[in-house]
Structure 1
């Protein structure tokens, strides 16, 4: 399960700490000024009391957020802990548990792709609102939409709210947003405003991004139709897509979310466990193997690594079942091997055995057992 509530709780705690430190320091200074005065300033005392009430209300609001994060965290821990009590994967309890897990992955996938209405409806219908992070993705979608409209305002506000966290991960997002705002001012021909903007917002980043700032200043000599590649790239509208992607990655990092949807990762893990070289051989495909099916999941598998099997297992091409002591392999006269159960079932149904690869006809009397060492 995602740990978004825990990250939210940590941020709420830090916010409370900052509010308390800032307000208490200010109140103490104000109180010292009042005490140093030869006369008691009644109005100053009333203002002081009013600020204390505001501080109390703010802390109460932060406390409410903390309690909600704690509640959701407990719900998710209880859900994960319930798996420990399930001893049989064929039980109804495990089916219910895995169904909930699948639904959370689907909601996560829908949310990441901006399908918030569908994600909300699915989570509500499945009663898993406390196991998914709808609000986080809704807020992120608003910022992405504003960037798609070529506005950096909401993204910069988000950067300001998460300034310390972004600094820890050495994110260049805020600088790139400021740079983009400067580029738009130059594009519009507002040169004096652009120069003032550089001095106020880009110069403080000179220790880290001096080269980029110098190149940006050169933009003043070129318009948006320039053929100079370095400056044409700065004017390129695709930079907005880069900013959206950068915001997404930083948002995932700050909330300890995976870069890819969990549905993708789970599918990839499952396909990797099943993928073998036989999946890509015309005579080695398994009818029950999703990797062998080139029209469905097989399309997701080509870039994935092959499964590593320490102990090999034989799978019948006819039935898709493993051949072992209870379902031994039988060899046809033409050398092809199938499971005993599949061959017996075929003879009982058709009266004889037809090899699917050669078309030759046999009976069970023609087969012989294969002994694998």
Structure 2
């Protein structure tokens, strides 16, 4: 009663269903052995999910992952992922004597990556396959100076802020902490 209306439209599938009704799951018939495999349930679940997403015009990847990937792509640079090996390559290299020590690897992975969201453990794996950002202009200030507290600023910006703060020409002010230092205490920084 349920299969007969589809006999003209889907003749092969109706014949398979009729064969499934005739042969039990433990029968050695090779034509129906594939249809009784337990993996067919996983295939059916995947087909249901795909059809559901197509009907509702949903992407195959969660929307949160798409939004995060586009944002992470804007931040990703070639310096990201250089010190964090992929899980498979790390396991393969851990057996070799040339692998770096744990302390050296930890120091290398945190060097300069304190606030990088790409290098964070939470987003590292999600950002691994996104493309690098296309930066055509450098945002690095020229003529950098190192303050005694470890902060680095461009000389022009320090002089401009000191002038705005009404400081003498031989003093500069840290832009974050507000500490005042002598110009002689500053060190020139070279980017390498």
The TM-score normalised by the length of structure 2 is 0.51
**Aligned match of 1:296:** 122
Residues 177-188 of structure 1: pairs in structure 2 closer than 5 A = none
SS in 2 for 1:280: coil
Do residues 306 (structure 1) and 110 (structure 2) align?
Answer: no
Matched residue, 1:257: 58
The question of 1:323 aligning with 2:137 is answered: no
Question: Equivalent residues in 2 for 1:182-261 (5 A)?
Answer: 197-198=2-3, 200-206=4-10, 210-220=11-21, 222-226=23-27, 231-261=32-62
Distance 1:285 1:221 in 2: 68
Distance 1:278 1:296 in 2: 17
Q: State whether residues 73 and 130 of structure 2, in contact with CA within 8 Å, keep that contact through their aligned partners in structure 1.
A: yes
Measured in 2, the distance between the counterparts of 1:223 and 1:309 equals 60
CA distance in 2, matches of 1:312, 1:292: 22
Matched residues in 2 for 1:329 and 1:223: separation? 79
Deviations 1:145-183 (A, max 9, x none): xxxxxxxxxxxxxxxxxxxxxxxxxxxxxxxxxxxxxxx
Matches within 5 A, 1:331-370: 340-341=152-153, 364-365=186-187, 367-368=188-189
Q: Which string of whole-angstrom CA distances, capped at 9 and with x for unpartnered residues, describes residues 302-323 of structure 1?
A: 2x2322414154xxxxxxxx63
For residues 6-17 of structure 1, what are the structure 2 equivalents within 5 Å? none
Q: Deviations over 1:112-145 (max 9, x none)?
A: xxxxxxxxxxxxxxxxxxxxxxxxxxxxxxxxxx
Query: Are the equivalent residues in 2 in contact too, given 1:277–1:306 (CA < 8 A)?
Result: no
**In 2: Cα distance, 1:264 partner to 1:228 partner:** 45
CA deviation map 1:267-324 (0-9, x unaligned): 121222222331112357522221101x21112222x2322414154xxxxxxxx632
Q: Distance in 1 between matches of 2:37 and 2:25?
A: 8
Which residue does the alignment assign to 2:158? none
Distance 1:201 1:340, change over 3 A: same
- Unaligned ranges ≥5, structure 2: 84-107, 155-172
Helix, strand or coil for the counterpart of 1:277? coil
CA RMSD of aligned residues (A): 4.0
Deviation string 1:181-215 (CA, Å, 9 cap, x unpaired) is xxxxxxxxxxxxxxx544x1541432xxx444444
| Contact 1:272/1:306 (<8 A) preserved | yes
Q: State the SS of the aligned residue for 1:279.
A: coil
Aligned residues of 1:291 and 1:301 also touching (Cα < 8 A): yes
Distance in 2 between the 1:236 and 1:330 partners?
Answer: 69
**Secondary structure at the counterpart of residue 289 of structure 1:** coil
Tell me, which stretches of 5 or more residues in structure 1 are unaligned?
1-195, 314-321, 332-337, 352-362
- More helix, by proportion: 1
In 1, are the aligned partners of 2:141 and 2:153 still within 8 Å (CA)? no
- What count of residue pairs does the alignment treat as equivalent? 138
